[in-house]
Structure 1
Amino acid sequence: MNRLIFVTAALAPALAFAQDQSFQPDASLSYGQRPFYLIDKMEDGPLKEKLASCVGQTPERTDFSVGHRGAPLMFPEHTVQGNVAAARQGAGILECDVTFTADQELVCRHAQNDLHTTTNILVTDLAENCTQPFTAATPEGGATAECRASDVTLAEFRTLSPKMDASDSSAETPQEYLGGTAPWRTDLYVDDAELMTHAESIELFRSLGAKFTPELKAPSVEMPFDGFSQEDYAQKMIDEYKAADVPAADVWAQSFDLQDVRYWIENEPEFGAQAVYLDDRYEVPEGDGGLLDPNDPSTFQPSMNELAEMGVNYIAPPMWMLVTLDDSGEIVPSAYADAANAAGLNIITWTLERSGPLANGGGWYFQSVSDAIDSDADYYEMLHVLAQDVGVAGVFSDWPATVTYYANCYGL
């Protein structure tokens, strides 16, 4: 019997489906309606004409399309169901953000301290374990809570039910606090959603025909944690791929901490060769060298060449750092993008489809080009520049079908 059947009872239905002999992963792919909705909204021009010409194409899985926490535009993030949806949308690479529980087991969560917004913990008996219990909103301030994966054991974590990542700051009760889902997302697919450990995500993603991009999340607790050091944490994540016999070439390990990336380069060179430095130097703490300006290479510390000399081969900034507007108001590559390319770094970027409607400049992810953003159709305008002019190797998306359709159309 296939060993996948023994993983966990929670994963068994999805894995059994994926292992069914009649299941052909690529035959199950679908773009759904969203790519066509976006194309219909585009202004007439060469890009719309090209994308419209591909309406009849057959969906194909592509590594250019990366599922960001699954498909959280509509599914609870880091769940079995969200990742199955992302795989069915053609995402060739799927993400598990990795953190750890009180007993140092690795689980998929975007942050170690997000259980109060991503699960039902506040309305369970485990609420008493939370670092900061629920406090109701008052005239002086909003409702608050903080519940960490490290507040519960793995066995306790498994009893929680996931939900859309949201909270209601006006809440007077824990039940009300669980609300707050953005109006352009949905709670339709919350029922029966299942959480995953990191090891379970490996088995699920492999069964779906996808590759892997785990992100080692910054701990919310002081390290070492009960003797568990940062190096132990970084090594344990890699060890779970080795234990599952996953080739290093199929794994893009990520971290915002350059020291984690350097650890992998030095101690696990096969995995380190594809380790991804997630660049958040735009918000460097005061006193740590100042902020990175994407249009001023003198602020790139370390420089792109220095990163390459350390052995870094992949860099992943947010989309807005890679683009700017030229004198005519057109979206073009930033100095940051040019410098990364000149240093021979592969670029991955995040996150398409996370901003909701783009009628008002696109928000945080489009901040460097907000004057050119006024319609949801601009998701494809931005993606086109990132793919063709910046030359990114992949794009994280909260709804991978949008990227998959573009990549299939352009042969990426």
Structure 2
Amino acid sequence: MLRTSLRLSAVLPFAAACALALTGCPDDGGDDGGNPPPAATKALVVGHRGASALRPEHTLEAYRKAVEDGADIIEPDLVSTKDGVLVARHENEISGTTNVSTVARFADRKTTKTIDGVELTGWFTEDFTLDELKELRARERIPQFRPANTQYDDKFEVPTLAEVIALAKKLSAETGRTIHLYPETKHPTYFQSIGLAMEDRLIAELKKDAFTASTATVYIQSFEVANLKELRAKLGTSQPNWKLVQLMEEGNRQPYDFVKAGDPRTYSDLMTEAGMKEIATYANGVGPYKLSIINVDSAGNFQEPSTLVRNAHAANLVVFPYTFRPENNFLPAPLKAEGAASTRSEEGAIKEIHAYLKAGIDGFFTDDPAVGRKAVESYKP
């Protein structure tokens, strides 16, 4: 899942500079091809949905906390309202991330839809105007693992992309470092099918403010392929500060637009040397599921890294895996702390991130940017 000087240092190490420029870094010519490429010495920290380990995800408060805790970049997932406004939610079905189920006047909006081939029942952003969505309040999505976050339930609004941009601009002024953005277009084939295509709206919104038009780096990501190619065709080289990123789920899964088109290829096909070369024709980086880089065995021990990072770097693509989380539930067994699934293991999370930095990643998505920053600063290549 990338990135101008984010850390205010006057001179960046070569590897970090490559990552920031999104050009990819060449392998050390002295190795025999069997070792992973060197990690960027200052890999970039992406606040995944904000500091979502500490605040309800995709709220302005979560994004602010991410920056306060050291994130270089904040990530808003984007879906559309009924009136075509882009808002930050991980999914267009919002019963798990808002209080919509408790609002009596919206009871009749509950419905069942098929999204990317999966039948879902709930409330969907495309059935609400922006004004109606603004009546709702955010809630913690996984309270069983983040019980402390429930203290913030029903306190924060659902933000628009415009509000996220304004916050990043404000935080950049406050901190003295440019805070970059990493929006994801969610379910682009679905939204196109209902007349709410997001691509042109996203371009227009990003161009409205000089901050995203020319100052910040904007990384536009998608799990689908066709909409990234469409964006590349629309943009050409006109926005050098906007970078496209091909997200990748587990290798045996498919981009939904491939499914619709009858294309039999999987994400594993995209991870090959040839697949990465194709991605490089329309994108600048890849965002793989972390286990596609380093898998774990049945006991939770790290296996040898795959060729994914090497294949990406050979195609001049940078690599930003997802998602690093500090709670026991999300860590391999050897890195868990004593306690329940909700117990935090910062030491274990840092060790996990170090393993991926050693494998050569250029940055990473984390729900806890403070932990991610500690991992970056403590890593010794």
TM > 0.5 fold call? yes
- The equivalent of 1:120 in structure 2 is 99
Structure 2's unaligned 5+ residue stretches are: 1-6, 8-41, 114-119, 173-178, 338-344
Structure 1's unaligned 5+ residue stretches are: 1-25, 27-61, 134-143, 167-179, 364-369
2 CA distance for matches of 1:127 and 1:220? 27
Q: Aligned match of 1:266 in 230, 233, 236?
A: 233
> Aligned in 2, Cα 1:320/1:216: closer, same or farther, shift over 3 Å?
same
| Structure 1 residue 338 displacement after superposition | 2.3
2 CA distance for matches of 1:148 and 1:302? 38
Check conservation: 1:69, 1:398, Cα contact below 8 A: yes
Is 1:401 the counterpart of 2:370? The answer is yes
- The equivalent of 1:314 in structure 2 is 285
Check conservation: 1:131, 1:146, Cα contact below 8 A: yes
2 CA distance for matches of 1:165 and 1:374? 22
1 CA distance for matches of 2:149 and 2:205? 33
Is 1:189 the counterpart of 2:152? The answer is yes
- The equivalent of 1:198 in structure 2 is 161
Check conservation: 1:68, 1:95, Cα contact below 8 A: yes
> Aligned in 2, Cα 1:347/1:185: closer, same or farther, shift over 3 Å?
farther
Is 1:211 the counterpart of 2:166? The answer is no
| Structure 1 residue 65 displacement after superposition | 0.9
Check conservation: 2:78, 2:185, Cα contact below 8 A: yes
> Aligned in 2, Cα 1:84/1:394: closer, same or farther, shift over 3 Å?
same
2 CA distance for matches of 1:224 and 1:199? 24
| Structure 1 residue 331 displacement after superposition | 4.4
What is the DSSP-based 3-state SS (H/G/I as helix, E as strand, rest coil) of the residue aligned with 2:46?
A: strand
- The equivalent of 1:342 in structure 2 is 314
- The equivalent of 1:147 in structure 2 is 123
| Structure 1 residue 97 displacement after superposition | 0.6
> Aligned in 2, Cα 1:271/1:216: closer, same or farther, shift over 3 Å?
farther
- The equivalent of 1:44 in structure 2 is none
| Structure 1 residue 291 displacement after superposition | 4.4
What is the DSSP-based 3-state SS (H/G/I as helix, E as strand, rest coil) of the residue aligned with 1:252?
A: strand
1 CA distance for matches of 2:151 and 2:315? 45
Is 1:239 the counterpart of 2:204? The answer is yes
Q: Which has the higher contact order (CA 8 A, sep 6+)?
A: 2
| Structure 1 residue 85 displacement after superposition | 0.8
Is 1:352 the counterpart of 2:331? The answer is no
Check conservation: 1:63, 1:92, Cα contact below 8 A: no
> Aligned in 2, Cα 1:243/1:405: closer, same or farther, shift over 3 Å?
same
1 CA distance for matches of 2:49 and 2:357? 21
Check conservation: 1:351, 1:396, Cα contact below 8 A: yes
Which structure is larger by alpha-carbon Rg, 1 or 2? 1
Q: Deviations over 1:308-349 (max 9, x none)?
A: 2x13220000111111469xx654321222222222210011
Amino acid across the alignment from 2:322: W
Amino acid across the alignment from 2:220: A
> Aligned in 2, Cα 1:194/1:222: closer, same or farther, shift over 3 Å?
closer
1 CA distance for matches of 2:52 and 2:45? 14
The sequence identity of aligned pairs, in percent, is 26
Is 1:110 the counterpart of 2:110? The answer is no
Check conservation: 1:75, 1:164, Cα contact below 8 A: yes
**Number of corresponding residues:** 307
What is the TM-score of this pair, normalised by structure 1? 0.67
1 CA distance for matches of 2:358 and 2:52? 26
> Aligned in 2, Cα 1:132/1:410: closer, same or farther, shift over 3 Å?
same
| Structure 1 residue 265 displacement after superposition | 1.7
Check conservation: 2:57, 2:141, Cα contact below 8 A: yes
| Structure 1 residue 186 displacement after superposition | 3.0
Amino acid across the alignment from 2:140: M
Amino acid across the alignment from 1:321: S
TM-align CA RMSD: 3.0
1 CA distance for matches of 2:240 and 2:130? 26
| Structure 1 residue 283 displacement after superposition | 1.5
